[in-house]
Structure formats: structure tokens, C-alpha cells
Structure 1
Amino acid sequence: MTNPPAPLPLTVLTGFLGAGKTTLLNRLLRDPALADTAVLINEFGEVAIDHLLVEHVDDGVVMLSSGCLCCSVRGELVGALEDLLRRIDNGRSPQIGRVVIETTGLADPAPVLLSVLAHPYLSLRFRIAGVITMVDAVNGAATLDAHPEAVKQVAIADRIVLTKTDLVEGGPNGTAAAALATRLDRLAPAASRVDSAQSNLTAALLGAGFDPAHAGDGRALRLAEWLSADAVAAAEARDGGSDTNRHDERIRAFTVTAEQAISTAAFEGFLDLLRAAHGPNLLRFKGVVKLAEHPDRPVVVHGVQHIVHPPVELPAWPDGDDRTRLVLIARDLDAAVVRRLFSAFLGTPQIDTPDAAALTTNPLAVPGLRFF
């Protein structure tokens, strides 16, 4: 397509087995606010939509009374998304305003994101609008202890939805609930939490991400909320690098900030080297960058592991803070290594480190970087 339409927001709904994804989907499918939404689920039988069914649009697709398209993903996700776009572009399905993908309870959400970000066509037609992770407040701590998949689902979330809070021993304000909240804060300081019982849940979920298309209006102020850089930095200072239990100690969220603008070539070099050396362990990163070529027009970046979504240039800084701010969620990756690497490409190597001379002459000579 020579002039593709504006990218559709795509939300990933994940959570471990029993967290309540099916219950939430049933609730969302009844909400008129999702009338222009396509929902991709694993199988129709897992979601009780029979009473909402209006007609079959195509094989694996039904049209609901709310106006939603509900698509069954029976094979490859990329194929399902391509088929959806083809039906819409050919006029065989109504136009949609967003897509919600529900993962299986045991799924790692990163491959779902990569399916979109790494695809040359899908990356033009969709933008990642947020990762929503559901956590069972009763069994959440035990699930995090036993299943690394659940830890990763929480770590990369933009929004965490707590379910069954009324069933927690001691109540929502009891010791068990507080312990889970503390653990979630340490594991995902960039994610805000909502209770599934709240009345305006749909609005909270659809607002999980930052939409560059609205950079000129008040909604762009959500950039700071989406990044949550201050919350991540506060968590780093509060925890002091202390480990939480079991799988959690391998995953950390941290920030990289800079007042000074960085050249486009230097920033691309930083990202290329970071992804080449640590791509599999770089679970997710997002940020806003001050480029030397146009410091008044920031660039929003977002990526998963070794894949970067096409950057989006904003017409102006939307929140009054013109610093480069990057938030990274990584596994087995020292924040100091990443910060030294960024300083090297910025041209301001950290002189208080033993390897400062090496960084000045060779940005690749950073301790901890592994090439393969």
C-alpha cells in the first residue's frame, strides 16, 4: 500500500491460568466502548459468546451484537492478523478501531509482540497500545514462585489487573494483599495496577499505552504515565538492588536518562550494540529520545528483545520534560553496563569507572557485553 492508514492500536491481554482472562473478555465483549474492536482469542468455545453472536462473517470470524469482530486464532498469529486486515481492506468486514489479542495462560507474551514488531507489513498497520497482565490476587504469589512464565507476563506489563481481591485472606488491605502488591511493584514498577471490580475498567485498559497520534492534545500527557520513568527510578533507589525471591531476582526494570541530546547515528549505534549483545535478555524497552538533529522534536521508541518498532517523531515535547528517558525491563543485565554504554555513545564516558579510558577510545569495550 502506497498510503497505508494510521496504525491500529493493538493490545495484548495476558495472564497465567486461572487469572480471569475469560471472565474479563466476556465483560469487554459486552461493552459498547469496544464496538469497533476486533478480539482475537484462541478458540470461541473458551469464551461464552453464543448469546452475543449475530452472524458468521467468515470462517473463524463472528460479528457480535456489540459490533465487535471476534476472531479465532487456530494457527499462526501473523496469518490471523493478515487475514483480518485483508477482510477489512476488501470490505468483507467492517472497519475497526483497535485489536485485542488474548494469549493462552502459559504463553510468553513477547513472541506475540514480536510477531507484530518484526513483520514488515504488520508493523506499519499496527502499533503496540499496551500489554495488560491479569494477576489472581489469591494465588498470585504462589504462581510467581512456581512459574517463570507468570513472572515475565508481569514484568513486561503496562497495566496489571488484579482479580479476586475480595477473596484474599485478610481482605484487600490485609498482609497477604500488601505482600503481593510489594512484589508486583518490585517486579513491574512501570506498570500501574487496577482492580477488576472497578466500574470503568474498559477505559483503564484501553488507556494503557501512549498514542503518538494525539501528540497535539491533552492525551499526550500520558507519555509520562506510559514511561513511568520516575516510578522505575524510585523503585531502584528504594530496593537498592536487593533481590526478591525465586525467579524475580533475574528480572530488573531500570532507567537511562540524559539531559544532553544524542545524534541519530550514535543512538542507532547504541541500540544496535545493545540488541546484538543482549537482545534475548532485553525483554522490553520504551522511551523518548532527544536527538541532536532536532532537539525540539522528540522521538518515541519502543521495542521487544532485539526488535524495535518504527520510531515516531512528535512535533514537540508533550510533558515539559525534554530529557532522554529510556525504561528497560531486562533479565540478567546490569543497569550500570547499559548506562556506561549509553554514556560512551553520548560522548560523556563515566570517568569514575575503571574502564573509562577504554570507553573513551572504544565504546565496544564495555565489561559485561557478550557477543555471539
Structure 2
Amino acid sequence: MPESAPPPSETDPRRPEPIPLTVLTGFLGAGKTTLLNRLLRDPALADTVVLVNEFGEIGLDHLLIEAVDEDMVLLGAGCLCCTVRGDLIATLEDLLRKRDNGRIRPFRRVVIETTGLADPAPILHALIYHPYLVLRYRLQAVVTVVDAVNGAATLDAHPEALRQAAVADRLVLTKTDLTPDTGPLRARLSALNPAAALLAPDAPAEDLLGGLFGLAGKGADVRAWLGAEAVSEEGGHAHDWHAHDVNRHDAAIRAVCLTSAAPVPRPAFEMFLDLLRSGHGPKLLRLKGLVALADDPERPVVVHGVQHVVHAPLTLPAWPDPDHTSRLVLILRDLDPAFVEKLWDAFLGRPRPDAPDAAALTDNPLAIPGF
């Protein structure tokens, strides 16, 4: 579209299909670039834009390369690789302008490879905050690569690595051939993030990068994206968290799954999210869910957020499977899951004797009249 044209609204029939976007992250040396090089050879990634931190790290010698401009190359396999220079939002906007104006051919997917030291929260925040980008892109998955040899030590020493693993939809364990026993690390990752699927680096591209949003009428794999069942099972062992080695720092990060068999009143749901993100936003590493709202229970809404920003809900045309239970998965840091469960129950009219009082909600309880 011309740069002077106003962005289409969410209800505008001219609005293009949102473009799925995957974030590929992992600590330094975990193997992100090796994984990305393999994925670029997969036909499933044809017509994919890959945003990378350092162009020189991507091994393209075997591919036909055609220059597009100073920051882009068009690969013979059909992928478009861009060096990320400056602001991520500006880069994503520029890609849309080039695509809409016909300066580059249409692409079907975007993959962002972060730096190894990146805290993923600000990146996810940027992807769900911008009012125009949320109409044109849909966050599909966060894929975190973990080094089987050094992974445990890295999680101990670097908070960024811990967050990268905690917010992932998929965890990819690399270098397993170099260590005899990956069981303890696998168990630790599963406890840290029970919602995430743990995959091998040779898994099919669609298993690694696919998930929530498809194209051309393809279904939404919401159940796999949520991983709610895994969180529910882990919740039965919540007492085990306090027995963990204090040097691992994992006890500060917890996962909780909130459910409701009955449709959720829209005002109650919106107020629950508002209170949670306004009072405890920095402690909300990630939120994702599928919710039946009482005013339209046959068309569930998909929501996800990071810290104090929650993505504008997307309404699905129908439930992806026979299970119509509303479910929210939250990754929390330094916030008791029991408190969040009590708050959820309170807004659903399921009072509990140990429900939270107003003073626990924010640093300024007087700002919540009537609670």
C-alpha cells in the first residue's frame, strides 16, 4: 500500500490475511543459526522472510543469492533474509511497505532470530503493542534453542536464558550427541515451562514453526500452541517447586493454567486482564489463551500478551476441536500462581474463602474502587 494510505481497520474487508511470525531465540552458542540454516532448506519455508542479527552468520554459500537492496538478499530457495538494523518495528513496517508496493514479492511467513543475549519480553512486547503491526502480523510461536551440553550452567548463570526458555512455545534441545545424559536438563525444562513442546532439531519445519495461525483457511492448532494440559498436570506438583536447588533460580518462574467450562462474561474477562497487567505487569512474562465469551461462545477469542501489554483478541470462526473449555496459560515471575487463580475465580463468581483482598492487587489499592 502507498505510504500515505491509512492502515486498514480490523473490520475492514480489505484487510489482508495476517502474516504468521515466529521468534527464534536461545542463548549464545545454543545452535540457533545451525537450526535456521537447516530450516531454510525446507520447502515449507519458501516465501519466508527471515530477520537475522548478523547476516554473516547465515551460511548461504550453497544458495543462489540475488541482491535486493543494501540490507536484503533474495535466496534461490525463495526466502528473503534481512539484516535487522535499528528498530524492529521500523523494519517490520518497511517490509510491509515493500510488499504492498510490489517492491518485493509477497511473503507468507516471518521468522525473527534474536541475539543470544536478548531478553525476549521486549521483543514480544513490540510485536503485540504496535496498532498497525498487530493487524498485519500474528505471533505464531516462540522457539527457544537450548544447548544440551551447557544448558544447565547457562540457565544457572544468565537470567536471559531462563526467560528465553520460560516464554517458549517450543524448546529445541541441540548437541544431544555430545552429552550422555540429557534427562536432568529435560526434566528441568519441563518443570520450568510445562506448556512448551520439547523437540529435536531435526523435527519438520512446520512442527517447529507452525502453530496458532495458518493461511488460506488452514486451521488453528490452538491446543498445541497453548499446551494447557501440560500446565494443568504440572500444577498438581506445585509443592515440588520449593524443593528445587535455590541456585537454579527456577522457583521464581511459574506456569499456571486457568480454565472455565462455562462461557466467561466479557466485562469480567476484560477487568481480570486489566487488573492483572496493571497491578502485576512486570511479573507477567507471557499470557496466551483461548476463551469463550458469553456474548458469542461459539466463536472463541485468542489472546496473548507480554507483561502489561495484551494483544487485541482475535476471534476464530469456530472452535478448533470439540473441547470448548476456556483456558489461559500464564508464565509468571515472582508471583504466586495461587493468587492469580483466586483472582480468576473471583471474577468468574466462584468465591473462595482465601480470595485476595484489594491490597494485594496493586501498589495503590485505592485505584480500584468497588473491588
CA spacing shift, 1:106–1:289, aligned 2, 3 Å: same
Cα distance in 1, alignment partners of residues 19 and 86 from structure 2 = 22
Q: Secondary structure at the match of 2:255?
A: strand
Identity within the alignment, %:
58
Cα distance in 2, alignment partners of residues 228 and 23 from structure 1 = 26
What does the per-residue CA deviation read over 1:226-281, in whole Å, with 9 as the maximum and x for residues that have no partner?
21111101112134252333221100001111222221111111100100001111
Cα distance in 2, alignment partners of residues 64 and 224 from structure 1 = 34
What does the per-residue CA deviation read over 1:293-326, in whole Å, with 9 as the maximum and x for residues that have no partner?
1222221111111111121222332222222211
Displacement of 1:285 in angstroms is: 0.7
Equivalent position of 2:363 in the other structure: 371
CA spacing shift, 1:323–1:212, aligned 2, 3 Å: farther
Equivalent position of 2:28 in the other structure: 17
Equivalent position of 1:312 in the other structure: 314
Letter in 1 for 2:363: F
Equivalent position of 2:80 in the other structure: 69
Equivalent position of 2:205 in the other structure: 202
Q: Which residue, out of 172, 180, 187, partners 1:182? A: 187
Letter in 2 for 1:190: A
Cα distance in 2, alignment partners of residues 88 and 315 from structure 1 = 27
Displacement of 1:367 in angstroms is: 5.5
> Is 2:190 the partner of 1:191?
no
Q: How does 1:1-372 map to 2 (within 5 A)?
A: 1-2=7-8, 3-168=14-179, 170=180, 174=181, 177-196=182-201, 198=202, 200-207=203-210, 209-211=211-213, 219-220=219-220, 222-243=221-242, 244-245=244-245, 246-350=248-352, 352-353=353-354, 355=355, 365-366=357-358, 368-371=360-363
Cα distance in 2, alignment partners of residues 369 and 310 from structure 1 = 23
Cα distance in 1, alignment partners of residues 170 and 178 from structure 2 = 21
Cα distance in 1, alignment partners of residues 325 and 317 from structure 2 = 15
Letter in 2 for 1:203: E
Q: Which 5+ residue runs of structure 2 have no aligned equivalent?
A: 1-6, 9-13, 365-371
Displacement of 1:49 in angstroms is: 2.0
Letter in 2 for 1:335: P
Equivalent position of 2:3 in the other structure: none
Displacement of 1:343 in angstroms is: 1.7
Displacement of 1:368 in angstroms is: 3.1
Displacement of 1:39 in angstroms is: 0.2
Letter in 2 for 1:296: E
* Count of residues in correspondence between the two structures: 350
Two-structure CA RMSD over aligned residues (Å): 1.8
CA spacing shift, 1:367–1:182, aligned 2, 3 Å: farther
Displacement of 1:345 in angstroms is: 1.6
What does the per-residue CA deviation read over 1:91-111, in whole Å, with 9 as the maximum and x for residues that have no partner?
010100000000000001111
Q: Secondary structure at the match of 1:242?
A: helix
Cα distance in 2, alignment partners of residues 46 and 295 from structure 1 = 48
Cα distance in 2, alignment partners of residues 155 and 296 from structure 1 = 31
Cα distance in 2, alignment partners of residues 348 and 46 from structure 1 = 53
Cα distance in 1, alignment partners of residues 235 and 63 from structure 2 = 46
Cα distance in 2, alignment partners of residues 311 and 125 from structure 1 = 14
Cα distance in 2, alignment partners of residues 296 and 153 from structure 1 = 34
